[in-house]
Amino acid sequence: MVLFGFGLLVCTSGKMVPVYTTDDLTGRFAPETNADFVPVASAYTVNATHMRKEAYEALVKMFKSAQRDGINLIIVSGTRNHARQTEIWSEKWNNLTHDPAERARTILEYSSMPGTSRHHWGTDVDLNSVEPEYFETSQGQKVYAWLVKNAASYGFFQPYIVHGDARETGYKEEKWHWSYYPIADQLLRAYKRMVGYELINGFPGSEYAPQLNVIEHFVQGIPDGPAVYNTRETR
């Protein structure tokens, strides 16, 4: 095992693989002071945010390529840590009044329970708008068509595709949410090994996480990534 200044790497069969902590996986850290994260330039985001360096470099290449094709991409939400996700969750929770398990189910249509969001990982971004209606406009349709055609070339994929054979559970379709697969896949594998319901806490309604199967249905219930990256044997 080798320690680097920017994080922990472990050597498995000659290949260096990063080691993630449960704090990394559940968003319990500050992206601004984490050495694996870099700030996103203001030209690429509506609000100040950070991303993992490799994911950000790929994103910039994708944004520049889109620009050349006349498509403007911008981040409307990037990395959010556990504390930020707790603010979002709690505000929605407090604005609803029905039965608590149903409240959680309603919020989960589009928003994650803290500790289960891919936005904790520094690999995932919401682009242009988080309103489904935007993607029905001609502009939104053009943006989405460009992403569907080109994002995989830069390592990005849409984890929350429409429900169907490739994704049966979890959030409603999110045409705005794109994920940098090469790193996010490593994080997801680590999450499967390391995170259980005992780590899903610290917000109202967290006790409903197991009965709503948030780990199985909302974290793990995503389609395969871009085919070009899916040559590895383990999953």
- What is the closest distance, in whole angstroms, from the C-beta atom of residue 188 to Zn ion in the complex? 15
Nearest residue (CB) to Zn ion, 24 versus 126:
126
For residue 204, how far is the Cα from the chain centroid? 22
Nearest residue (CB) to Zn ion, 132 versus 210:
132
- What is the closest distance, in whole angstroms, from the C-beta atom of residue 131 to Zn ion in the complex? 13
d(CA 59, CA 63): 6
Question: Which residues make up the interface to Zn ion (CB under 5 A)?
Answer: 126, 177
- What is the closest distance, in whole angstroms, from the C-beta atom of residue 180 to Zn ion in the complex? 13
CA atoms within 13 A on the CB side of 16: 7
Angle at the Cα of 120 from the Cα atoms of 116 and 122, rounded to 5 degrees = 145
Contact 226, 157 (CB under 8 A): yes
Nearest residue (CB) to Zn ion, 92 versus 177:
177
- What is the closest distance, in whole angstroms, from the C-beta atom of residue 13 to Zn ion in the complex? 34
Q: Residue with the closest Cβ to Zn ion?
A: 177
Nearest residue (CB) to Zn ion, 175 versus 177:
177
- What is the closest distance, in whole angstroms, from the C-beta atom of residue 178 to Zn ion in the complex? 8
The alpha-helical segments, DSSP class H, found in 14-111 are 22-26, 53-68, 82-95, 100-107
Tell which residue, 122, 130, 30, has the closest CA to residue 84: 30
- What is the closest distance, in whole angstroms, from the C-beta atom of residue 177 to Zn ion in the complex? 4
d(CA 203, CA 208): 11
Nearest residue (CB) to Zn ion, 7 versus 223:
223
Nearest residue (CB) to Zn ion, 104 versus 125:
125
Handedness of CA 129, 163, 159, 197 (dihedral sign): positive
